[in-house]
Amino acid sequence: MEYFQIYGGKPLHGEITPSGNKNAALPLLAACLLTDEPVIMHNVPEIRDVLAMRDLLISLGVQIETVADHTWRIHAQQVRPADLDTDLCCRIRASILLAGPVVARAGELHLPPPGGDVIGRRRVDTHILALEALGTQVEYDRVERVFHFVSYGLTGSDILLDEASVTATENAIMAAATASGTTILHNAASEPHVQELCHLINTLGGKITHIGSNTLHIEGVPKLGGGEFTIGPDYLEVVSFIGAAVVTGGSIRIREAGPKYLDMVRLVFRRLGVHWEIEGNDIIVPADQTLKIEPDIGHSIPQINVMPWPAFPTDLMSIAIVVATQAEGTILFHDWMYEGRMYFTDKLSGMGAQIVLCDPHRCIVQGPAELIGENVESPDIRAGLALVLAALAAKGKSTIRNVGQIDRGYERIDEKLLILGADIERLKE
How does residue 111 score in pLDDT terms, banded at 50, 70 and 90?
confident
| DSSP single-letter state for residue 327 | S
Question: DSSP label at 231?
Answer: P
Active site (catalytic) residues = 117
Peptide bond into 113 cis (omega under 30): no
Task: Provide mean pLDDT across the span 7-13.
Answer: 97
SS in 3 state form for 110-145?
Answer: EECCCCCCCCCCCCCHHHHHHHHHCCEEEEEECCCC
User: 77-91, 137-151, 163-177: which has the minimum mean pLDDT?
Assistant: 77-91
Burial class (CB in 10 A: 0-12, 13-18, 19+), 395: middle
The dihedrals phi and psi of 233, each to the nearest 5 degrees, come to -65, 150
Q: CA 111 from chain center: how many Å? A: 22
Give the distance, in angstroms, between the CA of residue 276 and the centroid of all CA atoms in the same chain: 22
pLDDT over 90 at 143, yes or no = no
- From the list 218, 164, 166, the residue with the least C-alpha distance to 192 is 166
> Where are the alpha helices (H) located in 112-234, listed in sequence order?
125-133, 166-177, 192-203
pLDDT bracket for residue 123 (50, 70, 90): low
Q: Give domain limits for the chain.
A: 2-19+233-428, 22-230
| Average pLDDT of the segment spanning 97-122 | 75
Number of residues in the chain: 429
Query: Which pLDDT band holds residue 303 (cuts at 50, 70, 90)?
Result: very high
pLDDT at 257 > cutoff 80: yes
What is the average per-residue pLDDT within 4-20? 97
User: What CA–CA distances, in Å, run from 424 to 43, 102, 250, 396?
Assistant: 25, 42, 16, 12
Q: How would CATH label the architecture of 22-230?
A: Alpha-beta prism (3.65)
Write down the mean pLDDT value for the chain: 93
In whole angstroms, what is the distance from residue 331 CA to residue 367 CA? 9
CA distances 196 to 26, 191, 320, Å, are 11, 9, 25
CATH architecture of 2-19+233-428: Alpha-beta prism (3.65)
At residue 116, the pLDDT reads 43
Residue 429 is predicted with a pLDDT of 84
- At residue 120 the predicted structure's pLDDT band, cuts being 50, 70 and 90, is very low
Topology agreement, domain 2-19+233-428 and domain 22-230? yes
pLDDT of residue 117 exceeding 50 = no
Residue of 50, 38, 49, 43 lying closest to 69 (CA atoms) = 43
Torsion sign over Cα 89, 95, 99, 102: negative
Q: What is the pTM of this model?
A: 0.92
Using 50, 70 and 90 to split pLDDT, how confident is the model at 338? confident
